[in-house]
Amino acid sequence: MPSPIQQAAERLCLDCGLCCNGVLFDQVVLQPADQIAALSARGLKIKKRQFFHQPCAALCGSLCQIYAHRPTRCRAFECRQFQQVAAGKVDENDARARIDDVRASVASIELLLNRSEHDNPRKSLAQRVATVVEHTQDESFSASLVTAMEALGRTLAEHFRVEKP
């Protein structure tokens, strides 16, 4: 039975999905123990038998639809907020507030992206921004996107990113 603080950390993930939806990562690299055929049958779009892109095809809302069968790296990844809540160093509500802040920043960036015909929501957020910036002639628009993305990147680096497992 997980401890109360471990349960609190696990509750965070149920309402988050930032490590699956293309905000934290562009892709997930498969590991030797991962069963490519089985993962493909469950809906993951495996590329070159090596990785799959994010946003993940198995993500529905903020929930993994193949949780019990998720790949190795998905099992191993715990963001810094998760780790700190699980260690009792950060309160669950404070971690939720950080996740909400990131969501708000992502929503602001998506509002900008929506102004471009070159936006592709099936790509990761970083890829979407790069593509839109590449195609726009509007320097002010481009600068707004880059500035917003850099600010988000700093928040993610400080509060969510950890060394890859």
* End-to-end Cα separation, the chain, in angstroms: 24
Residue 125 sits in the site that holds ligand SF4 (CB under 6 A): no
Q: Which is nearer to ligand SF4, 128 or 132 (CB)?
A: 128
Q: Which is nearer to ligand SF4, 43 or 138 (CB)?
A: 43
Which pair of structure tokens corresponds to residue 15? 């309402």
Question: 149 in helix, strand or coil?
Answer: helix
CB 161 to ligand SF4: min, Å: 10
d(CA 61, CA 15) in angstroms, rounded, equals: 9
**Binder to ligand SF4 among 8, 12, 129, 148 (CB under 6 A)?**
12
Which residue(s) pair with 64 in the sheet?
59
Which pair of structure tokens corresponds to residue 80? 């810094």
CB 82 to ligand SF4: min, Å: 4
d(CA 1, CA 144) in angstroms, rounded, equals: 47
d(CA 66, CA 64) in angstroms, rounded, equals: 5
**Site residues for ligand SF4, window 71-100 (CB under 6 A)?**
71, 74, 77-79, 81-82
Block residue for tokens 């939806």: 21
Q: Choose the stretch contacting ligand SF4; rule: CB under 6 A; options: 65-73, 110-118, 137-145, 149-157.
A: 65-73
**List of residues contacting ligand SF4 (CB under 6 A):** 12-13, 16-20, 24, 28, 56, 58-59, 64, 66, 70-71, 74, 77-79, 81-82, 160
